[in-house]
Amino acid sequence: MSSMYEFVLKTTRVIDVGERNVVMATKDYGRGKPRFVINLPTTRNDLWQYFWEKKIPVKVFIEVPAEVLNYGKSGKERESEGS
């Protein structure tokens, strides 16, 4: 089974996990600091387990969609800076 993952890793270096939410795991993780996690899709648990077993480090990139940045907390669209 690991040969399949080796093939996948040789053909692509980017794995899109889709939209995820940042979740607060605990409010006090030590010294009063909260801890946040991003849950990975369970449909690929075998791949995550492969990474874990082989101790393969991964880089995580977070992309915030532009439409999210255009809205304030009130849900109303922000005015552009040039107006």
Tell me, yes or no, whether 24 lies in a domain.
Answer: yes
Helical residues (DSSP H) of the chain, grouped into ranges: 2-11, 45-53, 66-69
pLDDT per position as a tens digit, 40-61? 999 989 889 999 999 999 998 8
Per DSSP, the three-state class of 1 is coil
3-state secondary structure of 27: coil
What is the pTM for the complete model shown? 0.61
Work out the widest C-alpha separation in the chain, in whole angstroms: 58
The residue ranking higher by pLDDT, 23 or 30, is: 23
Q: What pLDDT sits at residue 83? A: 45
Q: Which amino acid is at 3?
A: S
Q: Which of 8, 75, 83 is nearest to 48 (CA)?
A: 8
Whether 56 is in a domain gets the answer yes
Q: For residue 79, is it within any domain?
A: no
Look up the domain containing 40 and give its range. Answer: 2-69
* Tally of structural domains, the chain: 1
